[in-house]
Amino acid sequence: MTTDAALAQTGTDERQDLRNVAIVAHVDHGKTTLVDAMLTQTKAYGGHGENEERVMDSGELEKEKGITILAKNTTVFYSGPHAQEQAGAEQVTINVIDTPGHADFGGEVERGLSMVDGVVLLVDASEGPLPQTRFVLRKALNANLPVILVVNKTDRPDARIDGVVSDTMDLLLGLASDVAEENPDLDLDSVLDVPVVYASGKAGRASIEQPADGGLPENEDLEPLFETILKHVPAPTYDAEEVLQAHVTNLDASPFLGRLALLRIFNGTLKKNQQVAWARKDGTHKTVKITELLATKGLERVPAESAGPGEIVAVAGISDIMIGETLTDLDNPKPLPNIVVDDPAISMTIGINTSPLAGRVKGAKVTARQVRDRLDQELIGNVSIQVLPTDRPDMWEVQGRGELALAILVEQMRREGFELTVGKPQVVTREIDGTLHEPMEAMTIDAPEEYMGAITQLMAGRKGTMNTMANTGSGWIRMEFSVPARGLIGFRTKFLTETRGSGIASSYADGFQPWKGDIEYRNSGSLVADRAGTATPFAMMNLQDKGTFFVDPQEEVYEGMVVGENSRNEDMEVNITKEKKLTNMRAASADSFEGLTPPTRLTLEESLEFANEDECVEVTPENIRIRKVTLDSSERMKEARKRKNAAQS
């Protein structure tokens, strides 16, 4: 915390009654559950009822998938025994940013870190630090943010608290050494002097004293965590002589107020009905009026008359404002730097639905203008993606951090009533010193040791190189690989199959390396319908020894539609609409279709993983289908010959 002497020299003051902190962790290490407990114990919301848990994950997809997709802020008001002791105030406002744990949503993490003065790092008491832990820690150290380590889920039966703390400290030491080369202002001594809190977010308990492995923290509430936050996260500093500077870090919408800009005030005071300068990304300035100012209280936004330095508020009245822009003084505008995020690594094409079954869903959005407008809208609030034109006016290339992030975007559009054609994900390459380079991923895999051979073989086929392997002593092994990002396209399904659903795999971006060569994504072909019609049970009974079907009997199909997976490594055109010839002779026994194997229904992510290079995914509000890019069989044969001749020449 800044000393009085330092304040006198720099001319800055502190908001002792305020703390801004982000909670970061790997997927499923308990961030959102811990925030729920903080809200409950400060009486900001009703608490852990059976249907009230994970209240911060309010989105429909977040609830379904059990992950955080968008960074969200909430405010708790702490007036416990440590408020006066640590902050010199009767009540301390703590703004908490709940960030995603998946590396594909890293842009949300970077936005969250731009709003805070400290980081609470959650690490699972059994799994320890994983790839996303490394990613968010590196970002926090680059921003010179102090870190509080919280070992969560100490009551897990397989908890190994000592080992997890040791692993995390080793990770901190390694990252601090790397970051110090890029950030000479980093204080290595303070980085390694990290306070440790032991917690069970689900039980709402925390302790400074380490509990036994598999035991609950001794304290019956989260007071030790609040005390540590007040003690180790510095109060926001500001210059009392500086003009207004408020940075837009997120966007929201209200049915009554329109677009809301969420921003952190770094200097000055923002007031309702105030006229300010809106500093845009293109360098221009515009005079705007703050028609409404909203502060956060628990889970709600409430009207406010003014807000000061360090506060995180929402403003209305600026319809076109974007993330990264600044509200500043009219007479002496001083914009803040834009938010910088890592470059995209994965891309895929998104365009209008061009299949023969397009437009069948009543009220669906099918025009190129509607798709383009929706992608433009996504650019406003999602700093992690880019939308680029293609050689077709009804199709665009969308680039993002990972396959999951792009699949989430398509799924959201599908639920909003769009019909789309989505191409197979590809990697975003770049040329460095005249050589083609591709993005790499550092992958960590935890799995039972009996699957080590299968995992090693699977990764080798995707050009993965093993860096380290460790046996935890509990029958599980941890392997770390360096693998091309494109090698992870379609990896998840095969990995879960090979490990019987027991393996855990996660990764983060790890720079660029020279192109690693061709990768075979799957060793099976597709069953492709050779004509339009309706799938018949008779045809499916005769074809089911060829592979697995994706369609139900009596489902409408069209030429070029992928109706199943061939057991052989080649595509096969099939007549799935064939009907039994009728005669005037009665069979000795009636036809029985009881032996027809139920079809496999692929989700959107599984469909994107399954699709081959010459295939794409048709997405409608009611159906997800895989199809050939070129539907006509003779045209596909001509294209295949051209590719073969080009390869030979």
Residue 429 marked ligand-binding = no
Pairing of strands 196-200, 147-152: parallel
Q: How many CB atoms lie within 10 A of CB 269?
A: 13
Residue 33 gets which letter from DSSP? H
Any bridge partners for residue 447, and if so which? 477
Structure tokens at 278: 């809106």
Residue 63 marked ligand-binding = no
Residue 30 marked ligand-binding = yes
382/400 Cα distance (integer angstroms): 10
Backbone angles phi, psi at 395, to 5 degrees: -145, 140
User: CB of 479 within 8 A of CB of 431?
Assistant: no
CA angle (81, 87, 88) in 5-degree steps: 85
Residue 542 marked ligand-binding = no
Residue 84 gets which letter from DSSP? I
Residue 472 marked ligand-binding = no
User: Strands, DSSP E only, in 597-647?
Assistant: 615-619, 624-628
Exposure string over 31-61, b if 16+ CB within 10 A, otherwise e: bbbbbbbbbbbbebbeebeeeeebbbbebee
Residue 547's Cβ-side half-sphere holds a number of Cα atoms within 13 Å equal to 24
User: CB of 206 within 8 A of CB of 229?
Assistant: no
91/445 Cα distance (integer angstroms): 44
126/163 Cα distance (integer angstroms): 9
Backbone angles phi, psi at 513, to 5 degrees: -140, 160
- CB-based contacts of 297, cutoff 8 Å, min separation 6: 44, 75, 77
Q: How many CB atoms lie within 10 A of CB 519?
A: 15
Residue 620 marked ligand-binding = no
Which amino acid is located at 302 in the chain? V
Return the residue matching tokens 């852990």.
48
What's the burial of 78, exposed, middle or buried (CB within 10 Å: 0-12/13-18/19+)? buried
Which amino acid is located at 208 in the chain? I
What DSSP assignment string belongs to 344-376?
Answer: P-EEEEEEE--STTTT-STT-B-SHHHHHHHHH
Three-class SS of residue 390?
coil
Residue 298 gets which letter from DSSP? B
395/411 Cα distance (integer angstroms): 17
Residue 628 marked ligand-binding = no
Residue 630 marked ligand-binding = no
Residue 185 marked ligand-binding = no
User: CB of 201 within 8 A of CB of 96?
Assistant: no
What's the burial of 589, exposed, middle or buried (CB within 10 Å: 0-12/13-18/19+)? exposed
User: Quick one: which H or E segment has residue 181?
Assistant: helix 161-182
Residue 29 marked ligand-binding = yes
Binding residues: 28-33, 152-155
Binding residues for GTP: 28-33, 152-155
